[in-house]
Every structure is written in C-alpha cells, then in structure tokens.
Copies of this chain bind each other. A is one copy, B any other.
C-alpha cells in the first residue's frame, strides 16, 4: 500500500515505523514543522512535506495522526484525496470527514506511545470504523497486517474507550509521578517501587481490579488513613487527591 502520513508525533511516528516495517510504502510525511517531518521521513524512506498542497492525492491511504482539534481543518486541506482517509484519534467523531472525502474511517490504536520506546503492534487493540462496508473491509485488512486484535468500534463507544483510557493510563501514570515525588523528597529511589507498579498491572491481566483491591481504604483501616493524611498536611494538593480517592474506594466496599 502507498500511504501518506499526516503528523509526526508519538502515534504518527510509531505507526509510520510499523507500516514501513511490514512493507507499505510511506510516500510522504507531513508536519507543520519541516524538520519534524524530515526526521520521521528519513526513518521510513519517505519524502518530507510541510505544505499539504503537495500531498499525493493518489495514494491508497492517508493516515491523519495529529492533535484532535486540528483534524477537521487539515481534512479540508486534503480535499480531493482519492484513497481512504483515516484518523487515529480516540475522541474525534468519524463525521469530521463526512462531506469532505468519499471513503474515510478511523484507525485508533488503543495504546500509550512514547517517541523513544519501541512498540510491538501485534497485540494492540486497533479500533476501526468506516464510512461504508467496503471501506470498513479495506481498513480492516490494513489494520490486520499491524495487529491480530482489530475491533469495529463506533465513534460513540470509541469516545468512552478514550475516557476509560485516561483513567487507566494517563491518571495512573500521574499517580506514579506523585509516588516518585514522595520518594524523592525522602531520599528514596523510584527503583524500589517499580516491581510493585508492574505487579499491580500484571494482576489485572487475569483478574478484575475490583476483586484485587488492597490498601487501607478498602480495609476501612482508619488508623493508617489518618497517619497518611497527617503526613500530607503540608501538601494540600496531594492530600486532596488522597482524600478523594480514599473516600471513593471506601464506598465500593463490598
């Protein structure tokens, strides 16, 4: 397949590398910033462009992987694209492309990407959606070459999925940060807590999180909860997070 890639961020980069690795031709990489486009284009043997008027409208796929609020505006600049246009966003409705392209869809990889960490796509859930049955079929085949875990998900459900991912990934990572800060302030190394973090995630690969909740809040261990709150009095923001989450956990008690 001949692919035009619009974007050069975390998702765009890893998708480009994976699509290139399985034999697709990345014809062009666009980024508003020419040096970003060049950096990624060089890795996948593509041409870097920074003006969408240069986009090759005859490619098979155009993958739009940019900030959510820019998708609509960029689509207008790609008007006339003859192949299938997909975006990769969790929370942008497929309707953003309606009336702009004939064949379009969504290819949302439900995973967290960082520029420097290699990604194995084979098990990543690829949530797909398309303008029509034929296009859905084509997007499905395209996604299937990347992952064995392809699912048709409507825009409405994809929005829920994205929100659930914010809780399970973004907020979780932030709690790791708060934990790291607490350790650093007390000359303790983050290394000491890394095995716990990994096991916490590993546990729910088989079990449901509700069934493996541990800690003072679920035990209603007021003595420990009070000790912890006393330790956080000088950090009102941390204290508020501790209180909010502990109170909420207590309510789930079976």
Contacts and interface: CB of A to CB of B under 8 A. Distances in A.
A137 interface: no
Copies of this chain, complex-wide, total 2
A68 B224 contact: yes
A201 B200 contact: yes
B209 A183 contact: no
Interface stretch (A45-53, A95-103, A111-119): A111-119
A171 to B, nearest CB: 5
A172 B200 contact: yes
Interface stretch (A16-24, A33-41, A55-63, A236-244): A236-244
Interface residues of A, number: 89
A161 B183 contact: yes
A214 B176 contact: no
Contacts of A2: none
21 contacts: A68-B221, A69-B221, A110-B196, A117-B203, A125-B192, A160-B188, A161-B188, A163-B228, A165-B196, A168-B196, A169-B214, A171-B249, A172-B197, A172-B200, A173-B204, A174-B217, A177-B208, A177-B213, A197-B204, A237-B248, A241-B245
Given A111-B196, A164-B180, 8 more contacts: A114-B203, A157-B187, A164-B179, A164-B182, A164-B183, A168-B200, A171-B215, A173-B213
